[in-house]
Amino acid sequence: MIRKALLPVAGLGTRMLPITKVVPKELLPILNRPAIEYIVQEIIQSGLDTIIFVISSGKEGIVDYFDINLGLRKFLEERNKVELLRLVDRIESQVENLVAVRQKKPEGLGHAVLMGESIVGNEPFAVILGDDLVASDVPCLKQMLSVYLELSAKYEDLSVIALEEVPREDVSKYGIVDGDRVSENIIRMRRVIEKPSLNDAPTNYAIIGRYIFTPKIFEHLKRIPKRGGEYQLTDAIQGLIDDGYPVFGFFFQGMRLDTGNLKGYLKAILYYALQDPELREVVLEMISK
Ligand code: G1P
């Protein structure tokens, strides 16, 4: 039902400078895999088959990572490196439809999402931001799709946005929402404010980087004004709400790992190392020493 995921990956990654001068933050390794692969896996495990990367100049490596590298294949074949060939093949075949569109100017998340309009076409789609990995039993996007499906029986043109409660002092880093409880883990959103001050934040319910939209969002993205040089996705979401479209916030099950800053990045590496029996030993031994 939802086949396409749009991944805005055009940003400069300034919070991770200086490495992001030369390596896109999405390609920074969490162990031996780029951070973006964990997100792509979540998307594929949730049953989607088309990934639309919104890139900018210098970010082509993200798309190349999932594309077929004939030279590397030939090299490994000639040397009979069967295991490595299998490893590479698994990465290169996981995304069925790989699309890249360009955001030529850094005009914000709202603008980046709008760049995907013609590829998304007239069907609901997911937007996933590259910073937030979610470790969970059921992939976070899959949980959201279940909620979307369930609510679709009752509502038309609905959106579902992943939420997490964050410490009060962090509200100014996120889109913060207010709304009415529909069930234990779902609210119907009434208001969304991008990066409010502590005083202006009505709640500590933060938008994390996962959204399900219908193409209605594009109409609103075309209507919103630029603020501080950028078009905010949050303003278009408020536009949907103001026009009476149902927008739901969903508190997912799982642990979010924000790889967009140094501490979060380190936590993500440790988290995934601790999941692996051999690497776990290495980490624990190192700490005990
Ligand atoms: C973006 C969104 C914000 C959201 C956040 C989640 O902000 O604008 O609403 O809460 O992602 O990571 P950014 O982190 O790109 O500044």
Q: What are phi and psi of 283, to 5 degrees?
A: -65, -50
Query: Do residues 190 and 241 make contact, with C-beta atoms less than 8 angstroms apart?
Result: yes
Binding-site residues, ligand 1, Cβ < 6 A: 109, 129, 131-132, 174-175, 194, 206-209, 233-234
Peptide linkage before 29 cis (omega within 30 of 0) = no
Task: Give me the average pLDDT of each 10-residue run along the chain (289 residues).
Answer: 96 92 95 97 96 96 94 95 93 92 96 97 96 96 98 96 97 97 97 96 97 98 95 98 98 96 96 97 96
Architecture of domain 4-288: Alpha-Beta Complex (3.90)
CA of 231 to the centre of ligand 1 (A): 12
Q: What is the pLDDT of residue 286?
A: 95
What is the DSSP secondary-structure string of 4-68?
EEEEE-----GGGTTGGGTS-GGGSEETTEEHHHHHHHHHHHTT--EEEEEE-TT-HHHHHHHS-
CA of 194 to the centre of ligand 1 (A): 8
Please name the residue whose Cα sits nearest to atom 13 of ligand 1: 174
Please name the residue whose Cα sits nearest to atom 11 of ligand 1: 209
Q: What is the pLDDT of residue 35?
A: 97
Q: Give the nearest ligand 1 atom to 207 CA.
A: 10
CA distance 219 to 146: 25
CA of 220 to the centre of ligand 1 (A): 18
Q: What is the pLDDT of residue 12?
A: 87
Question: Minimal CA–CA distance to 260: which of 105, 133, 100?
Answer: 133
CA of 175 to the centre of ligand 1 (A): 6
Q: What is the pLDDT of residue 268?
A: 97
Query: Quick one: 99 exposed, middle or buried, by C-beta within 10 A (0-12, 13-18, 19+)?
Result: middle
CA of 176 to the centre of ligand 1 (A): 10
**Ligand 1 pocket, mutate which of 7, 128, 174 (most atoms under 8 A from CB):** 174
